[in-house]
Structure 1
Amino acid sequence: MRTRAKICGITRIEDIHSAVNAGADAIGFVFFPPSPRSVTQEQAKELIQHVPAYVQTVGLFVNASLDEIEQILKQAPVDILQFHGDESPEQCQQISSQVGRRWYKAIQVKPELDVINTIKSYQNVGASAVLLDTWHPELKGGTGHSFDWSKFPKLDIPLILAGGLKPDNIEDAIKTTNAYAVDVSGGVESAKGIKDQQLIEQFMQGVQRGSAK
């Protein structure tokens, strides 16, 4: 089975077309105003209209309230919620049940973190997957750095690899981790929030090579 791939931090219609044409399985929109890749619900509404059937849309939220998420979903009805802040398993489960969306949790791999038990705590309340990202003391994702892939666990829940992925390391990343899916943002950009068609194509080619058995 080919490793799935999400292109995150999309801000332009042409970048949706580039990602879809290159074979991306999911498109990510960032609803976190401090991020240079953030979009408003109005912008996301327009962008979502250009995502074809069979390509999923994901909304990234950082410590957002139920009210905030509900307001965004009224205009930008993404398929899946990505909780990328300090949300507890219970908060993720409660919000997702209120808004009727599947969800997954992003976890920053801190040196002292009990990764397996943390993953299981979200799995036990209904996470569709768990994303493992590089830890940074200030940034919530988008660090451009990778963590030690040899520590990537093997569990009975889909695990998504993120952090420092780019065209020249994605094949090795997949072969090392055997991740269910990969998530890239800065690694396929010419500037923050501006994707590069050629880099997206090279990244997806690397995904194909990494997935080949």
Structure 2
Amino acid sequence: MTVKVKICGVRTPAILDAAAGAGADYVGLMFFPKSPRNVGLDEAAALAAAARGRVRTVAVMVDPDGALVDAVVEQVRPDVLQFHGSETPERVAAIKARTGLAVIKAIHVGEAADVARADAYEAVDHILYDAKAKPGAPLPGGNGVAFDWSVLAGARAPFALSGGLAPDNVAEAVRQTGAAMVDVSSGVETAPGVKDADLVTQFIAAARGAAPIKAKAS
């Protein structure tokens, strides 16, 4: 099985085109005002419309209220919802049931004990393991920080991996962890929120060139 690739924090048609043209499976649209990658509903709707039929869109939210979820679903029409905050298993399951959309839940990892928290999220379609932000950090993800991949040895498979990934380390990350999907944001940027088309293309090529993954027993 070939690893899937998500380019997160897409804000412009040019980067959307670069990601789709290089073969990305997903692009992430960020709905979090504190993030330099934040997009408004109108911007996101235009990007999602341009992506339709070319690459799947993921709406990324951090502890959203019901009004934001509904607005994103109705106006943007994403393929997948991603929750990157402290959302409970019950809330994520309820949103999935109400919207009928596939769901990704991010688990923030600092040590091995954090990995087990994914077990409670039985309703989600994909678990995304991301590096835990340092205390006081303004963003829960997209900080360009990696974690010790060895703690994922007993993780429930298949899973997605994020945190500190870049064109020069993504192939090794896939080989070490067996991740079914890799997710990058800051690792393909020249400044916070400013993605580089060449880096996006390089990242996708490097991920695709990693050794084929073998599913682990869950």
Cα distance in 1 for residues equivalent to 2:91 and 2:170: 32
Cα distance in 1 for residues equivalent to 2:157 and 2:111: 22
User: Which residue of 2 is the match for residue 15 of structure 1?
Assistant: 15
Aligned-pair identity (%): 38
Structure 1 stretch displaced more, 5-14 or 54-63? 54-63
User: 1:12, 1:194 within 8 Å by CA — same for their partners in 2?
Assistant: no
User: Which residue of 2 is the match for residue 119 of structure 1?
Assistant: 118
1:27 alignment partner, SS class: strand
Cα distance in 2 for residues equivalent to 1:65 and 1:21: 34
Equivalent residue letter for 2:173? A
User: 2:59, 2:78 within 8 Å by CA — same for their partners in 1?
Assistant: yes
User: Which residue of 1 is the match for residue 216 of structure 2?
Assistant: none
2:10 alignment partner, SS class: coil
Q: Summarize the Cα distance change of 1:65–1:129 in structure 2 as closer, same or farther, 3 Å threshold.
A: same
Q: What CA deviation, in whole Å up to 9, does each residue of 1:36-83 have, x standing for no partner?
A: 000011100111111141521101110101221101222101111101
User: Which residue of 2 is the match for residue 191 of structure 1?
Assistant: 191
Q: CA RMSD in A?
A: 1.5
Following superposition, the deviation at residue 112 of structure 1 comes to 6.6
Equivalent residue letter for 1:92? V
Cα distance in 2 for residues equivalent to 1:212 and 1:128: 21
2:50 alignment partner, SS class: coil
The equivalences for 1:45-84 within 5 A come to 45-53=45-53, 55-84=55-84
Following superposition, the deviation at residue 111 of structure 1 comes to 2.7
2:108 alignment partner, SS class: strand
**5+ long unaligned stretches in structure 1:** none
Cα distance in 2 for residues equivalent to 1:211 and 1:33: 37
1:152 alignment partner, SS class: helix
Following superposition, the deviation at residue 114 of structure 1 comes to 4.0
Cα distance in 2 for residues equivalent to 1:211 and 1:58: 26
